[in-house]
Amino acid sequence: MDIVDALAADAGLLAVVGAGGKKTTLYVLASRLDRAVVTATVRIPIFDEQVSRVVVADDPVVALDDAGPADFPLGLVPEREREDRYRGYGPATVDRLAAAHDGPVLVKADGARTRWLKAPNEREPRIPDAADTVVPVASARVVGESLTEERVHRPELVAEVAGLEPGGEIRSEHVARVLASEHGGLKAVPEGATAIPLVNMVDDEELETVAREVADEVLARADVPRVVLARMTAAEPLVDVVER
C-alpha cells in the first residue's frame, strides 16, 4: 500500500480537515495522481509551485474544460485575495467541479493557521457534499506540548473535545479524542463518505510510537477503517497503516 491507496485518493473527491499538514498532504497526493485537481473551500496559501498550473476562475468547470494534459495537477481557485493567499470556492461549486471531472479532486476544507491540532467552530469545516473521502489530520508532534495557541488552533474548543484543561499537557489520548469526535475530526463528514484519520509528522521512532498510540485510541473510539501514519515531507511519505 502506498500513500494514495492508504488515503483512498485515486478517484473521486477527497477533503482534508484538521491541522498538522493538510496542504502538504494535498500536494503529495497531487504529485502521485493522474489528472488531479487541487482546490479549496477555505483560504489557501499561494501554491503555484506545487502544481503544474493554477487558474483563477469564477467557474472552475469552465476552467477545467479549457485545461490541457500538461496543466495537471491543476490548481483551481476563484480569486487571489492577497499576495500570499487565494480564496476558496463554495462547497456546492466544488461539488459541480467533482461531477464534471474524470479524475481526483483534492480539497482543503478547513483552516488551522499552521498549528498542529484543532477543533472546528460552528462554521467549520466546509466539506463538499460530494466528498468520497474525508481525511482528518493531526500532528504527532503536538503530543507533549501544552494546550495553548502556540501549537493548537482554537485551543478552547480542543479543550472541550479532548477533556483537557487549557494549558494542560497534550497526550496521545487527547489527540485521538479530537480526531475521533463528531465535534472534532469527524464533524460534518457527509453521509456515504469514508473518514480516514491521518497522523502526520511521524519523523522518527519516538514519534512513530506516539502515532501508534493515537491510532489505537482512534480505532477504539470511532468507526473508521484505518488510521494512516505519515511524514508528508519525506520521499516516501507513508510510515504505516493501522487497521482494525
Q: Is 214 helix (H, G, I), strand (E, B) or coil?
A: helix
- Runs of H (alpha helix) within 7-113: 22-32, 60-66, 91-100
- Measured between alpha carbons, how far is 136 from 133 in angstroms, rounded to an integer? 10
- Measured between alpha carbons, how far is 160 from 183 in angstroms, rounded to an integer? 9
Distances 80 to 21, 56, 89, 109, 118 between C-alpha atoms, Å = 22, 7, 12, 17, 26
**What is the DSSP pairing of strand 238-243 with strand 226-230?**
antiparallel
Estimate to the nearest angstrom the gap between the alpha carbon of 170 and the chain centroid.
21
**What backbone torsions phi and psi does residue 137 show, to the nearest 5 degrees?**
-115, 140
Q: Which residue has the cell 512513530?
A: 208
- Strand blocks (E) in the chain: 13-18, 37-40, 44-45, 53-56, 74-77, 80-82, 85-86, 105-108, 117-118, 133-139, 152-153, 194-195, 198-200, 226-230, 238-243
Domain boundaries, the chain: 3-243
- Measured between alpha carbons, how far is 185 from 180 in angstroms, rounded to an integer? 6
**pLDDT tens track, the chain, 244 positions:** 999 999 999 999 999 999 999 999 999 999 999 999 999 999 999 999 999 999 999 999 999 999 999 999 999 999 999 999 999 999 999 999 999 999 999 999 999 999 999 999 999 999 999 999 999 999 999 999 999 999 999 999 999 999 999 999 999 999 999 999 999 999 999 999 999 999 999 999 999 999 999 999 999 999 999 999 999 999 999 999 999 8
pLDDT of residue 118: 98
pLDDT of residue 138: 98
DSSP 8-state assignment for residue 151: T
- Measured between alpha carbons, how far is 90 from 226 in angstroms, rounded to an integer? 29
pLDDT of residue 61: 98
Class of domain 3-243: alpha beta
